[in-house]
Each structure stands twice: as structure tokens, then as C-alpha cells.
Amino acid sequence: MKFVDEAEIRVEAGDGGNGVIGFRREKYVPRGGPDGGDGGDGGSVYLVADENLNTLIDFRFERFHRAERGKNGQGSDCTGRAGADLELKVPVGTRATDKDTGEVLGDLTEHGMRMKVAQGGFHGLGNARFKSSTNRAPRQKSNGTPGEIRWLSLELMLLADVGLLGLPNAGKSTFIRSVSSAKPKVADYPFTTLVPNLGVVRQDAQRSFVIADIPGLIEGAADGAGLGIQFLKHLERCRVLLHLVDLLPADQSDPVENAKAIIAELEKYNPKLAAKPRWLVFNKIDLLLEEEADEICQKIIEALDWQDRSFQISAFQKKNTDDLCREVMNYLDSLPDESEQQKDLQEEVAFKWDSYDKKSLQTDDFDDDDFDDDDDDYDVEVIYTKE
């Protein structure tokens, strides 16, 4: 699965501060010379890669970013303070392009990498600078130069190796929180997650994989129930699916039936997706005694006639989650390298965040009724109201 996240922003560096005209005025010092100070340089705008971020969504809501202007100079040869630089944090992997010229400014490929995207203005000179043997009282000064202004388009492309499947409340988001730095919202009500979240699981310095948390599926999803299957298509390019099963559902439902329901939906949606490598992950073992958990897991395995691998974890207590991630990593490493193939697939990008409703980005109003729509134009922007 490939995710493309895009945002357009306007960055404005600060203007340089102006120089000023000033003369020394002091008792007993007649005709004190020129002492107008220089302005300060304007602040520049930088992009800084931060591994704790994984989407550009914040830039959809805040599109204008301005660094501080340099202060004007002052009398008594005082130089104006330089404007502070502005640092905008972006996810690792972000590419910045000048929207007007199409020039790629660069890719921020490593955590901490810093790239200047708008140069602050140069300071103006005060009249003290124009003093010469022929002009000892110059009435000249210069103004600071304007800061650079650019429209940038930011793009982030990530490939998810692992997709999470499960009913609402199975603990998918809890799991991704436990094993990666992604921090999607977790709550004890269904459909907490409304858009996919990506997390990067670092195994060691060289090895990592990307995991995608998608909204929960429910029975009838293939026919449009709940958030439907619109997100399932994004799992088609994952290399392994983890099916999370809640061993002790709060709604007293039967874990066996629950697991069956997800598999049925998957098969109904797309047999090819259902044929993908898929592992069962029994979650919430912390709520049960070991024997009880074993018993329920065994029952599910038998009922499904499950032949593939299965794991018992507590996403919440991070029990066995590291083992699971290690197994996933080893499994991914054992697969043939797909990177060559991926290069040819650029145009087949599966998911764009174009589900964000443009209208609602322009207005603060949010209409709850939007969620009742049956059509495919789902409104998802609400989860980005800050927690």
C-alpha cells in the first residue's frame, strides 16, 4: 500500500529590518556624527524532519507560515535584532517542491535534517555606514530587502508493509501506538479511527517497517456497513495482514464469531486480498488468565481451521508485541525485495488524502450529519480536531 500525503503551504521569510538615520546628540559634543544603526536580518524558514510525525495533515489546516521580520536599527549605533527563524516540522521522507517553478527543493530523508526553504531578507544599513570624508553627516540609509516568499508543495510517500485488520475496538490503534511512534487516538468506542494511520516500527538502526492502522470493519462492511470497505483497498499492497481479535469483547460478543465475520467480509470483498499472508493476533490477554486465553485462542483456531501463524498479545501492556514485530520483520526480510518493482508503480498510488473535504477545510463549521451520508464522500477531517 502506498500512501501519498500532500499539502500546499505558503512560507514567508521575514523582511530585513531597515537602517535608520540618526545623529549623536550630547551635551558638550557639538555636531556628533551619524549614529543610525543597521537593521536586523529577517528570519528564514526551514523544514526540519521529525520522525515522530507521519502525516502532513497539520499543514492542511495551517497553510501560512511566516518567519519574523528583522527589527529596524536604532540611534546610538544600535543594530536591530535579527528576526527569529521559523522551523516547520515535517515527517521524515517529505519532499518539498516550489509550486511555481516546479523545482524540487529537496527531500528530507533523515530525522533532524534541516532545509532552508525561504531566505530571510538582508538588513538595511544605517546612516553611520554612509559616513565618508566628504559627507560627514549623511542623510542616507537603506531599507532591508524583502524576505523570500514561496508556495511549496509538500509530499510524503510511504509504503505500508503491514496492514491491521479487525473489528472496531479490537485494539488496532493501541497496537500501533505500542510498537511505533505513531499516536492515533484510542478509545473504548467503535470507529475511533476514521482514516488510516501509519506507524514506523524500528527494529534496529537498519531495519524498520511501516504498519497501517485502518478503521475497524464490521459485518456487512463489504456491503457498505460502518465505514465500509473503502479502506480495504489500501491493504492490497501490504505484504502481510495482521488480524486482531479481541479475546474479551466488551459487548459480550463471541470472539469466534467475530473472527469469522472479518474473514467473511474480507473474502466477500476480494478473494485476492483474503489470500494474502495473514496472521491471527489475539489481543487483550491481560484481561484473562493464561489458561482461559489459551482455551479461547484454541477454540478460534479450531473453528477457523487456522493453519497459519497466530500470536497472543496485550497491545495495552505491550506483552509479546516486541516478539510479534520481530517475527514480522524477519518475515518481511525473507521476502524478495520489492523496491525495484515499486519504482514502476509510482502512478499507481493507491491512496491520496483527497478524502479530506475541501470545503470543511475552509470553514470551521462541522456538521455531524455529514457522517450519516451513505455515499462514498466520507468526511473524515473531524479526527484532526486536536486531542
Ligand X SMILES: Nc1nc2c(ncn2[C@@H]2O[C@H](COP(=O)(O)OP(=O)(O)OP(=O)(O)O)[C@@H](O)[C@H]2O)c(=O)[nH]1
Rule CB under 5 A: is residue 174 a binding residue for Mg ion? no
Q: Is 191 annotated as a binding residue?
A: yes
Distances (CA, A) of 156 to 9, 258, 262, 301, 358: 14, 35, 31, 39, 19
Residue 237 touches which of Mg ion, ligand X, none (Cβ within 5-8 Å per kind): none
Residue 287 touches which of ligand X, Mg ion, none (Cβ within 5-8 Å per kind): ligand X
Least Å from the CB of residue 281 to ligand X: 10
75-103: string of b/e by CB count within 10 Å (b at 16+)?
bebbbbebbebbbbebbbbbbbbeeeeee
Give the 3-state secondary structure percentages of the chain, helix then strand then coil, rounded to 5. Answer: 25, 25, 50
Q: Is 169 annotated as a binding residue?
A: yes
- Binding-site member from 261, 315, 324, 380 for ligand X (CB under 6 A): 315
Residues 177-196 that bind Mg ion (CB under 5 A): 192-193
d(CA 16, CA 252) in angstroms, rounded, equals 66
- Binding-site member from 30, 64, 102, 188 for ligand X (CB under 6 A): 188
Least Å from the CB of residue 241 to ligand X: 14
Q: Is 315 annotated as a binding residue?
A: yes
In the bound state with ligand X, the residue whose beta carbon lies nearer, of 287 and 382, is: 287
Query: Is beta strand 114-118 parallel, antiparallel or unpaired with respect to 64-66?
Result: unpaired
Rule CB under 6 A: is residue 44 a binding residue for ligand X? no
Least Å from the CB of residue 318 to Mg ion: 17
Residue 315 touches which of ligand X, Mg ion, none (Cβ within 5-8 Å per kind): ligand X
Rule CB under 6 A: is residue 320 a binding residue for ligand X? no
Q: Could you tell me which stretch among 36-44, 64-72, 77-85, 311-319 binds ligand X (CB under 6 A)?
A: 311-319
Least Å from the CB of residue 323 to Mg ion: 22
Rule CB under 6 A: is residue 216 a binding residue for ligand X? yes
Residues 152-181 that bind ligand X (CB under 6 A): 166, 168-174
In the bound state with ligand X, the residue whose beta carbon lies nearer, of 286 and 327, is: 286
The DSSP string of 204-234 is: SSS-EEEEEE-PPP-TTGGGT-TTTTTTGGG
In the bound state with Mg ion, the residue whose beta carbon lies nearer, of 69 and 177, is: 177
CA angle, 381 then 202 then 282, to 5°: 75
Closest Cα to residue 166, out of 304, 239, 263?
Answer: 263
Rule CB under 6 A: is residue 192 a binding residue for ligand X? yes
Closest residue to ligand X, judged by C-beta, is 216
Rule CB under 6 A: is residue 79 a binding residue for ligand X? no
Rule CB under 6 A: is residue 382 a binding residue for ligand X? no
Least Å from the CB of residue 282 to Mg ion: 17
CB proximity list for 266: less than 8 A, separation 6 or greater: 165, 217, 232, 273, 274
Q: Is 383 exposed, middle or buried (0-12, 13-18, 19+ CB in 10 A)?
A: middle
At residue 149, φ and ψ (nearest 5 deg) are -125, 130
19-35: string of b/e by CB count within 10 Å (b at 16+)?
bbbbbeeeeeeeeeebb
- Binding-site member from 23, 151, 191, 331 for ligand X (CB under 6 A): 191
Q: Is 382 annotated as a binding residue?
A: no
Angle of helix 255-269 versus helix 290-304 axis, rounded to 10: 40
Rule CB under 5 A: is residue 173 a binding residue for Mg ion? yes
CB proximity list for 297: less than 8 A, separation 6 or greater: 247, 282, 310, 312
Residues 265-284 that bind ligand X (CB under 6 A): 283-284
If phi over 0 gives left and psi between -120 and 50 gives alpha, with beta otherwise, what is residue 9? beta
Q: Is 190 annotated as a binding residue?
A: no
- Chain residues binding ligand X by CB under 6 A are 166, 168-174, 186-188, 190-193, 215-216, 283-284, 286-287, 314-316
- Chain residues binding Mg ion by CB under 5 A are 172-173, 192-193
Binding residues for GTP: 166-173, 191-195, 213-216, 283-286, 314-316
Binding residues for Mg(2+): 173, 193
